[in-house]
Every structure is written in structure tokens, then in C-alpha cells.
Amino acid sequence: MSQTLTLDEIEDLAKRVLLSAGATADAAASVARSTRLAERDGIRSHGFLYVPIYAEHLECGKVARDAAPSVTITRPGAVRVDADNGFAHPAIDAGWSAFTDAAKHSGIAAMSIHNSYNCGVLGHHAERIAEAGLIGLCFTHAPASIAPSGGQRPVIGTNPFSLAVPDGEGGVSLVIDQSASVVAKSEILLRSRTGEPIEPGWALDIEGHETTDPDLALKGSMLPAGGYKGFGVGLMVEILAAALSGANLSTEASPFSGTKGGPPGTGQFFIAIDPDAFGGPTFGASMARLCTSITEQDGTRLPGGRRRDNRSQIEVKGVKVDDALLQRIERLVRS
């Protein structure tokens, strides 16, 4: 059985849970907003499902309750944020104005975040950059879950990257958001919680054998998308989001699920590019032609199209939430 909640109710309940678990008002508001956006786009694995995990991590110390992000401008166009082992979202917010202002002033800027945590749906951060009229290119890494081709020991995380392009009217023309793995690890976590098998080709068990059991997959290794090419993409993300940002490597980060280990200390790396500084007036026209070359073909859609379709429906119809999950979350507010 399930109940239908509005997005306002989703955000409000998530915020109350986080406040009850000891999050600061700013952190609770930022993470609750992220939860709302995930549910709005139909990305359940990063939405309400994660709220009890956030609360658990506040209570066990994997996320610092009193974190105070600090921002350093190391060079013109270079912003460095220390998340202070708190949530990634308020740390990103803390450096946001300096980051985007620098991009508009210099044509390009970058922001690194370290001592951080799971930043939710990476594409939402890239979209936020694009909505400011800038091209957004974002990277984030995660605790190790993918072994190199031919190996069995995980070295990198699912390590997604995202690219969002502005449409020239305050919106976004397309969003690419993909991980180095065949599927996001949070999807396997969701299958584990619901008791559903995973698809063949998603993961290996601890002995290196392909499995459709989500619990065995969580103990083993995710499979990279495209074999060694996918591992290469994940390695690129690792270099930028972890090594360059001064974060723990994926092999050094504690899990994003469960209470084992202290703060994961992961990182993010964002780049913002002002199209006017490079392509000038030709960029918008070029993007229009590029997008048309895709959409004019029957059966196609631009990257991010499914999320936009979900938004148009979910904003009107609301979100169906499993009764067991809803009861679990409501208990967290009362406790």
C-alpha cells in the first residue's frame, strides 16, 4: 500500500526529519530541497528513500551535525570549499555565489569541495549552473565499488559526471547525467530494500561472478558501463573529484550506507563556463541545430527528457510513497 504526497509535503517532512536528527536549519533546508527535486524527477533512489539514511548518519557521526563549511578563493576563478564533514549540499551552497560570479567575470571557473558527503542527484547541480546561463560540468565520486577491468577489488566508486547546457532563456536545453557503472549503486540499494532482483550485467559478487542478487552485489563490485571505457571515465572523475579536490580517495571513503566508519570525506568538482566568453553569439544557434538533429528523428529525445516528462506529471499528481517507508520516516520525526 502507498499514500500520495505533494512535493511540498515531501520537502517539509524531509526537513523535519533532518532537524529532529540534529541537522542545522541551513543543512536541513538544503538537503530537503534536494530530496524534493529527486522525487519530482522520479529518481526514487536519491529521494525519500535516503531520508532515514541521512538521519542515521547524523546520529552516528558519519555526517557532522555542527558542520560549518568554509570557502577559500585560492585564485581568480578557483573556489575551494571545506564541507567540514557535513552534508555536501550546504557546502555547495556556501561557495555558489563566488563560483558562478567568477565564471561570469572570467569566462570560466571551478569549485572543489572536500570533507564532503553524497551530493544527491549530480545533474541537479549541473542544471543549477545552466539556469544561471553557464555550461555546467560536474563530477562527484563515491566509496569504492568498481574494480578495474580484469581485477576483483573495487578501486573507484560509481563516480558520475553531469553536463547541463543553458537554453538562453533561463532554462536548460539538455542534461547528461551518468555514472561510470552500468547503473547507480543507489538503484541496487533500492532493489535490496524492496527484495527485487537486479538486472543481469549490473554487478559481480565478492568472488567476481555475475549476480542478480542485490545483497550479493552490494558486497561485491559494480560493473563499469562499456567495460574498460567506463572504468576510464570513473578514473577521470576520481582524479578531479577526489585527488584534485583534496578528498579521500574512493578506497579510503567509508560507505554511504550503514553506520560503519566515520565521515566518508568524499569530494566534488564543478566547472562553470560562460558561452559568451568562448562561442559568442554562435553557441546558441549551434546548440539549437545540434538538438534538432536529435529530436527530428522519431523515437529519440534529448538527454534529461525523461526527467522533464516526470516533472510535468509528478508536480501535478504528487508522489506515491510506500506506507512502510512513510511510517518509518514519521517515526523519525516523533523520536
Summarize pLDDT for 222-231 with one digit per residue, the tens: 888 888 999 9
pLDDT surpassing 90 at residue 245: yes
pTM, two decimal places: 0.93
Given a cut of 80, whether residue 335 has pLDDT beyond it is no
* Long-range Cβ pairs for the range 300-306 (8 Å, 24+): 302/173, 302/174, 303/174, 303/175, 303/176, 303/177, 304/123, 304/164, 304/172, 304/174, 304/175, 304/176, 304/177, 306/42
Q: Which of 30, 34, 45, 179 is catalytic?
A: 45
The CA distance from 72 to 82, in Å, is 8
**Cell numbers 516533472 correspond to what residue?**
311
Catalytic site includes residue 57: no
DSSP state of 247: P
Catalytic residue among 114, 187, 221, 254: 187
The Cα–Cα gap between 38 and 32 comes to 10
Q: Report the pLDDT value the prediction gives residue 107, as an integer from 0 to 100.
A: 98
Binning pLDDT at 50, 70 and 90, where does residue 186 land?
A: confident
CATH architecture of the domain with range 1-60+305-335: Orthogonal Bundle (1.10)
105 is catalytic: no
Domain boundaries, given as residue ranges, for the chain: 1-60+305-335
Residues 261 and 268: beta-carbon distance below 8 Å: no
**96-142: pLDDT as tens digits:** 999 999 999 999 999 999 999 999 999 999 999 999 999 999 999 99
Annotated catalytic residue within 46, 89, 125, 141: 46
Integer Cα distance of 102 and 52 in angstroms: 37
Catalytic residue list contains 187: yes
Q: For cell 566534488, what's the residue?
A: 268
Radius of gyration, CA atoms only, the chain: 20
